[in-house]
Amino acid sequence: MTIELVDVNITSPGRNFVTLKITTSDGITGLGDATLNGRELAVASYLADHVASMLVGRDEDRIEDTWQYLYRGPYWRRGPVTMAAIAAVDMALWDIKAKKAGMPLYQLLGGASREGVRVYAHASGTDYAALKNAITGYEELGYTAVRVQTGVPGLGQIYGVSSSGPGVRYDYEPAKRSGDRPSEERWDTRNYLNHMPGVFASIREDFGSDLRILHDGHHRMTPIEAARFAKDIEPYDLFWLEDCTPGEDQTALRLVRQHSTTPLAIGEVFNSVYDYQTLITERLIDYVRSAVTHTGGITAMKKLLDFAAIYGIKSGIHGPTDISPVGMAAALHLDLAIHNFGIQEYMPHNAQTLEVFQTSFTFDKGFLHPGDNPGLGVELDEDAAAGHEYTKAYLPVNRLLDGTVHDW
């Protein structure tokens, strides 16, 4: 059989998603997530204008060969746009192969290594009272791990903190529909470094030692600031400190490692195994944070995680709402199958998104399962998708208090 149709679907049920749909000559369909937050149309064009026609007529079963063809073929390598496009094709082909086998994808990846996938929720609050309320709400829902982000005195709206007010779920959606330009935020690392250790101390005091606490530094610290911070928060036993320094500077983490035993996670802005070469071989990190969607798909992610496993490094696959339910399904099948699973990020999608993408995921006491439908287990309702027109949205730009552009 061969690939007959390749369609790119763009929809915006509250936020933008780009989905690739491949149909074979015997009518089997496969889906792939190609969403790149704030640059969605670049990936859609890469697929529709440059990739779709070369897929038609290819054997859908030759996944590795198609991956190499799309990676080596264009001469230009890597980058988030290219690797998201390759990921979408790869996911769709795995979806088709597993549907043909009549099995959920995790069976083709070696079968389940565990009964469910431990996930972490996003708890945030503009102050400690609101954060505490959010953590309590997640504990009541059965979560055993939470990522905590909080407002910092002297700063306004900052990364990771919901402004939606008290409630069990504190939704946080960073991409803003703000017309032709991104919105702007202000930042001061000194205020942040002075404030955060006290927040972790209060959480440990209020919630005890069992709760897994995660935190995202979102690339804002210099190596020496990150080293001090990781050392200061050691007594609060974090599950991980994420993205403490800018992602592209692999050797920055040497300094952090020398000074602290706080576990480190990095990689959501990476798109290739080569971005991790130093980090993995020098054991500078504990968790790989790539998204299946931005790292070339299931084929590439499985190789990356097998490489990490040799060095005792585990997975912590990226799973915010800008990863579509299709990308999330790909992550969950990998999580279930690989041996070196660490934890999975989980930020549930809104009701509109779940009408467009119907999933078979189940959640039980802090653990997710991708379900046992053949393939990835996600259906795209194209009529529902057509009701949500693409709306330009951007991630914010960050500036220091004096106006200097900083990492967001």
Residues that bind ligand GCO (CB under 6 A): 37, 174, 216, 218, 268, 320, 322, 345, 395
Shortest reach from residue 216's CB to ligand GCO, in Å: 5
Instruction: Select from Mg ion, ligand GCO, none the partner in contact with residue 188, using the beta carbon and a kind-dependent cut-off of 5 to 8 Å.
Output: none
Pattern of binders to Mg ion over 245-284, x per CB under 5 A?
-----------------------x----------------
Closest of 387, 353, 402, 367 to residue 115, by C-alpha:
367
Shortest reach from residue 284's CB to ligand GCO, in Å: 19
Active site residue 394: no
Pair of tokens at residue 403: 């106006």
Q: What is the DSSP string of 355-375?
A: HHEEE--EEETTEEE--SSSB
Q: Could you give phi then psi for residue 116, rounded to 5 degrees?
A: -160, 170
| Residue 92, H or E segment | helix 80-101
Q: Specify the residue, 90 or 322, whose C-beta has the smaller distance to ligand GCO.
A: 322
Instruction: Select from Mg ion, ligand GCO, none the partner in contact with residue 374, using the beta carbon and a kind-dependent cut-off of 5 to 8 Å.
Output: none
Instruction: Select from Mg ion, ligand GCO, none the partner in contact with residue 174, using the beta carbon and a kind-dependent cut-off of 5 to 8 Å.
Output: ligand GCO
345 scored as a contact of Mg ion (CB under 5 A): no
- 208, 213, 217, 221 alpha-carbon torsion, rounded to 10°: 50
Instruction: Select from ligand GCO, Mg ion, none the partner in contact with residue 395, using the beta carbon and a kind-dependent cut-off of 5 to 8 Å.
Output: ligand GCO
- Any long-range contacts for 378-386 (C-beta under 8 Å, 24+ apart)? 378/31, 378/325, 378/326, 378/329, 380/9, 380/19, 380/21, 380/31, 380/326, 380/356, 381/355, 381/356, 381/357, 382/9, 384/13, 384/355, 384/356, 385/9, 385/11, 385/13, 385/19, 385/356, 386/11
Shortest reach from residue 113's CB to Mg ion, in Å: 25
Pair of tokens at residue 17: 């998603």
Q: Specify the residue, 270 or 341, whose C-beta has the smaller distance to Mg ion.
A: 270
Shortest reach from residue 183's CB to Mg ion, in Å: 19
Q: Specify the residue, 33 or 268, whose C-beta has the smaller distance to Mg ion.
A: 268
Q: Specify the residue, 28 or 135, whose C-beta has the smaller distance to ligand GCO.
A: 135
Active site residue 346: no
Shortest reach from residue 323's CB to ligand GCO, in Å: 8
Instruction: Select from 90, 216, 225, 322 the one that contacts Mg ion (CB under 5 A).
Output: 216
Instruction: Select from ligand GCO, Mg ion, none the partner in contact with residue 322, using the beta carbon and a kind-dependent cut-off of 5 to 8 Å.
Output: ligand GCO
Shortest reach from residue 19's CB to ligand GCO, in Å: 17
Instruction: Select from Mg ion, ligand GCO, none the partner in contact with residue 275, using the beta carbon and a kind-dependent cut-off of 5 to 8 Å.
Output: none
Q: What are the beta bridge partners of residue 398?
A: 185, 406
Shortest reach from residue 372's CB to ligand GCO, in Å: 27
66: number of Cβ within 10 Å = 22
SS3 content of the chain, % helix, strand, coil (to 5): 40, 20, 40
DSSP assignment letter at 104: B
Q: Could you give phi then psi for residue 362, rounded to 5 degrees?
A: -125, 145
Binding segment (CB under 5 A) for Mg ion, from list 138-146, 208-216, 247-255, 303-311: 208-216
Q: Specify the residue, 40 or 216, whose C-beta has the smaller distance to ligand GCO.
A: 216
- Choice among 106, 120, 122, 218 that is catalytic: 218
Instruction: Select from Mg ion, ligand GCO, none the partner in contact with residue 345, using the beta carbon and a kind-dependent cut-off of 5 to 8 Å.
Output: ligand GCO
Q: Which residues contact 55 (CB under 8 A, 6 or more apart)?
A: 3, 6, 22, 66, 89
Q: What are the beta bridge partners of residue 31?
A: 21
- Choice among 120, 138, 159, 287 that is catalytic: 159
Q: Specify the residue, 188 or 345, whose C-beta has the smaller distance to ligand GCO.
A: 345
Query: How many CA atoms within 13 Å lie on the side-chain side of 74?
Result: 17
In the block, residue with structure tokens 């690939």: 3
Q: What are the beta bridge partners of residue 305?
A: none
Binding site for Mg ion (CB under 5 A): 216, 268
Query: Which residues are identified as catalytic?
Result: 159, 218
